[in-house]
Amino acid sequence: MDNQNNKQSTEDFTIKEKEKVVKKEFKEFWQVAIDFIRELFNIRKNSDKEFTRQTILENIPFSGHTAWLLIFSVMIASVGLNANSTPVVIGAMLISPLMGPIMGAGFAIGTNDIDTFKKSGINFLVMVTLSILTSFLYFKISPLAYESSELLARTSPTFFDVMIAFFGGLAGIVALTKKGFFNVISGVAIATALMPPLCTAGFGLATGNMHFFSGAMYLLLINSFFIALATFLIIRYLRFPIVHYLNSTKRRLISRFIYILAILVMIPSIMSFIKMYNEEIFKRSAASFVEKNIKYEGAQIIKSQINPQQKEIEVYLMGEIVPQNTIEIWQQRLQNNPDFKETILHVYQSADKTSEIEQNLSEKLKQQILDKLFIENKEAIKDKDEQIKRLTQEIIKLKQQKEVSNVPFEKFSKEAKTIFPEINELSAGKLIDTDFKHKDTLPVFLIKWDKKLPRYKLRRLAKTFYKWTKERLDLDTLKLVSLP
Query: Which residues, in sequence order, are CB contacts of 81 under 8 Å at separation 6+?
Result: 89, 148, 150, 151, 154, 196, 199, 200, 203
Q: Under a CB-based contact definition with an 8 Å cutoff, are residues 103 and 176 in contact?
A: yes
Q: Under a CB-based contact definition with an 8 Å cutoff, are residues 462 and 447 in contact?
A: yes
Span 100-131, pLDDT tens digits: 888 888 888 888 787 888 888 899 999 899 98
Predicted pLDDT of residue 402: 45
Query: Which residues, in sequence order, are CB contacts of 53 under 8 Å at separation 6+?
Result: 107, 240
The better pLDDT of the pair 1, 205 is held by 205
User: Could you state, in order of their start, the residue ranges of all structural domains in the chain?
Assistant: 1-42, 49-243, 407-483
* pTM value surpassing 0.75: no
Looking at domain 407-483, its CATH class is alpha beta
Segment 454-462 mean pLDDT: 82
User: Cβ atoms within 10 A of the Cβ of 229, count?
Assistant: 22
Q: Under a CB-based contact definition with an 8 Å cutoff, are residues 119 and 100 in contact?
A: no
CA contacts within 13 A on the Cβ side of 479? 11
Predicted pLDDT of residue 133: 92
Q: Which letter, b or e, does each residue of 42-52 get, where b requires 16 or more Cβ atoms within 10 Å of its Cβ? A: eeeeebeeeeb
Span 265-286, pLDDT tens digits: 667 667 777 887 888 888 888 8
Question: Could you give the CA distance from residue 53 to residue 60 in angstroms, rounded to a whole number?
Answer: 11
| % of residues, the chain, pLDDT over 70 | 73
